[in-house]
């Protein structure tokens, strides 16, 4: 069986442009909505072309001490310039940034995955505590 952990990339986001960077708005409070922004390469961007783009970001929450993570959501970025005239001709592109909202009574870890169509799956984590 293939172990997905062997495929994850997670180099420092300051020198890479694939890692999903998570930003939390305001202080996190138990049981209250948390706004989580997920984007690629906060300081260094990533190409958004038909032949090279970020296709999706997925967000999970793993409560501390529990066995299973919970999927918060997934944002698909589906427009990357393709049209009947060919690659990069439509002028329509989806930007690779998403805003998720979730709440929990439990501390734990947010886990974000991003997928580049040619450079694979990338991962980042963010601790949630009260
Ligand atoms: Fe890439």
Q: Is 18 among the residues known to form the active site?
A: yes
pLDDT at 28 over 60: yes
Average of per-residue pLDDT across 94-108:
97
29, 30, 35, 52: which is the annotated catalytic residue?
Answer: 52
16, 42, 62, 106: which is the annotated catalytic residue?
Answer: 16
Q: What is the pLDDT of residue 17?
A: 82
Q: Is 40:20 a contact under the CB 8 Å cutoff?
A: yes
Q: Which residue has the higher pLDDT, 90 or 16?
A: 90
pLDDT at 98 over 60: yes
Question: Hey, what long-range contacts does 3-6 have (CB within 8 A, 24 or more apart)?
Answer: 4/121
Confidence of residue 9 (pLDDT cuts 50, 70, 90): confident
Domains, the chain, with CATH or none: 4-128 (2.60.40.730)
pLDDT at 51 over 60: yes
């Amino acid at each position: 069986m293939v172990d997905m952990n062997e495929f994850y990339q997670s180099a420092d986001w300051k020198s890479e442009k694939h890692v999903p960077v998570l930003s939390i708005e305001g202080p996190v409070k138990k049981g209250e909505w948390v706004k989580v922004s997920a984007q690629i390469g906060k300081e260094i961007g990533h190409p958004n072309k038909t032949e090279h783009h970020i296709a999706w970001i997925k967000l999970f929450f793993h409560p501390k001490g529990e066995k299973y993570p919970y999927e918060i959501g997934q944002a698909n970025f589906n427009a990357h310039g393709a049209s009947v005239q060919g690659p990069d001709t439509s002028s329509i592109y989806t930007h690779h940034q998403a805003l998720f909202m979730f709440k929990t009574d439990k501390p734990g870890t947010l886990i974000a995955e991003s997928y580049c169509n040619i450079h694979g799956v990338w991962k980042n984590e963010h601790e949630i505590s009260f």
